Amino acid sequence: MTLEQPDSVWNHKPWWCQPWSIILTGFSIISGSWLLFKLVWLSILVALPITAWMGFFVIIFPKLAMQEINQEVD
């Protein structure tokens, strides 16, 4: 007896577009801005769009993609 894993949007994405790589890239950019400039306001300015980008691609995009797939199946 085999248990089938539910299909995930991440199964169809390359390694560089996986949640771990998105989060690692985002944190690296934010940390890099701090290490390079040592300015809190600049790091916050960098962190805002990067955090939005990470949130979209790790949380919102998979839900939207699965809704789209489910609508196509119905």
> pTM, whole model, 2 decimals?
0.81
Coil, strand or helix: which one is 13? coil
Q: How confident is the model at residue 2 (pLDDT cuts 50, 70, 90)?
A: low
H helix intervals, 13-39: 19-37
Report CA 47 to chain centroid distance, whole Å.
14
pLDDT above 90: residue 25: yes
Mean pLDDT, residues 44-70 = 93
- Sequence letter at residue 3: L
Do residues 4 and 39 touch, judged by C-beta distance below 8 A? Answer: no
